[in-house]
Amino acid sequence: MYYLFDGSYAGFLCCVFESFERKEWNVIPLTPQQFAGDFFRDKREIYTDSAKARRVQDGLQEKAGMEKAKDFFRAFLSEDEKAWSVSFKIITAVFKTGVGVLENFGDTDVLYFAQTLKKVSRERHRMKAFIRFQKSNDGMYFALIEPDFNVLPLISDFFRKRYADQPWLIYDVKRKYGLLYNKVAVSEVALSPEQKQSLTAPAIAIALDEEDEKFQRLWQQYFKSTNIEARKNLKLHLQHVPKRYWKYLVEKQG
Amino acid sequence: MERIEEKLKILADAAKYDVSCSSSGSKRKNTGGIGDASSSGICHTYTEDGRCVSLLKILLTNHCIYDCAFCVSRKSNDVKRAAFTVDEVVELTMNFYRRNYIEGLFLSSGIFKNADFTMERLLRIIKKLRMEEKYNGYIHLKTIPGASEELIKEAGLYADRMSINLEMPTEAGLKMVAPDKDHESVKKPLAFVNEQMHSYKSDSKIIKHVPVFVPAGQSTQIVIGATPETDFEIMNVAKTFYKNYQLKRVYYSGYVPVNTNNNLLPQVGSAPPLIRENRLYQTDWLLRFYGFELDEILNKEYTSLDLDIDPKLSWALRNPHLFPVDINRADYKMIIRIPGIGRQSAMKIIQARKFGRLHEYQLQKMGIAYNRAKHFMVCADSPFVLGTLSVAAIRNNILQNGNSKYKSKTPEAQLSFF
Smallest CA–CA separation between A6 and chain B, in Å?
33
Average confidence (pLDDT) over B289-307: 96
Smallest CA–CA separation between A52 and chain B, in Å?
32
- Nearest-CB residue to B9 (from A219, A225, A229): A225
Predicted local distance difference test score (pLDDT) of residue B410: 43
- Nearest-CB residue to B49 (from A165, A218, A228): A228
Average confidence (pLDDT) over B150-167: 96
Mean pLDDT, chain B, rounded, equals: 92
Mean pLDDT, chain A, rounded, equals: 93
Smallest CA–CA separation between B362 and chain A, in Å?
5
Which H or E run contains B223? strand B218-224
Average confidence (pLDDT) over A122-144: 96
Predicted local distance difference test score (pLDDT) of residue A87: 97
Reported ipTM: the value is 0.94
Kindly determine whether residue B43 and residue A232, on different chains, have CB atoms separated by under 8 Å.
no
In eight-state DSSP terms, residue B320 is G
Please say if the pLDDT value at position A201 is more than 60: no
Predicted local distance difference test score (pLDDT) of residue B416: 43
Average confidence (pLDDT) over B21-35: 90
Q: Which one, of A89, A69, A87, A76, lies nearest residue A24 by Cα? A: A89
Predicted local distance difference test score (pLDDT) of residue B415: 46
Smallest CA–CA separation between A169 and chain B, in Å?
12
Predicted local distance difference test score (pLDDT) of residue A119: 98
Confidence band, pLDDT 50/70/90 cuts, at residue B261: confident
Task: Give B277's contacts in chain A (Cβ within 8 Å).
Answer: none
- Nearest-CB residue to B56 (from A166, A222, A233): A222
For the ranges A152-161, A168-177, B16-25, B144-153, the lowest mean pLDDT is seen at: B16-25
Q: State how far the Cα of A188 lies from the Cα of B395, in Å rounded to an integer.
A: 56
How many Cβ contacts (< 8 angstroms) between chains A and B?
163
Please say if the pLDDT value at position B327 is more than 70: yes
User: Percentages helix, strand, coil for chain B, rounded to the nearest 5?
Assistant: 40, 10, 50
Name the residue type at position B197: M
Kindly determine whether residue B32 and residue A164, on different chains, have CB atoms separated by under 8 Å.
yes
Kindly determine whether residue B50 and residue A230, on different chains, have CB atoms separated by under 8 Å.
no
Smallest CA–CA separation between B237 and chain A, in Å?
25
Q: Are B153 and B141 in contact (CB under 8 A)?
A: no
Task: Give B351's contacts in chain A (Cβ within 8 Å).
Answer: 103-105
- What is the torsion angle, in degrees rounded to the nearest 10, for the CA atoms of residue B166, residue B169, residue B172 and residue B175? -40
Predicted local distance difference test score (pLDDT) of residue B418: 42
Please say if the pLDDT value at position A76 is more than 60: yes
N- to C-terminal Cα separation, chain B: 63
Smallest CA–CA separation between B195 and chain A, in Å?
31
Kindly determine whether residue A105 and residue B9, on different chains, have CB atoms separated by under 8 Å.
no
- Nearest-CB residue to A221 (from B5, B98, B366): B5
Task: Give A125's contacts in chain B (Cβ within 8 Å).
Answer: 42
What would the DSSP string read from start to end of B158-218?
T-SEEE---BSSSHHHHHHH-TT--SHHHHHHHHHHHHHHHHHHHHHHHSS-PPP-STT-E
Average confidence (pLDDT) over B305-323: 95
Confidence band, pLDDT 50/70/90 cuts, at residue A51: very high
Q: Which chain A residue lies closest to B269 (C-alpha atoms)?
A: A230
For residues A111 and A254, the model is more confident at: A111
- Mutation target among B17, B26, B36, B49 for the A interface, most CBs of A within 10 A: B49
**Could you report the per-residue pLDDT of B340-352, keeping only the tens digit for each?**
999 999 999 999 9
Q: For the whole model, what pTM was predicted?
A: 0.93
**Could you report the per-residue pLDDT of B51-87, keeping only the tens digit for each?**
999 999 999 999 999 999 999 999 999 999 999 999 9
- Nearest-CB residue to B362 (from A106, A222, A251): A106
- Nearest-CB residue to B49 (from A225, A227, A239): A227
- Nearest-CB residue to A240 (from B10, B16, B46): B46
Q: Are B156 and B122 in contact (CB under 8 A)?
A: no
Please say if the pLDDT value at position A112 is more than 90: yes
Smallest CA–CA separation between A167 and chain B, in Å?
11
Confidence band, pLDDT 50/70/90 cuts, at residue B417: very low
Predicted local distance difference test score (pLDDT) of residue B411: 43
Task: Give B101's contacts in chain A (Cβ within 8 Å).
Answer: 132, 219, 250-251
Q: State how far the Cα of A159 lies from the Cα of A156, in Å rounded to an integer.
A: 6
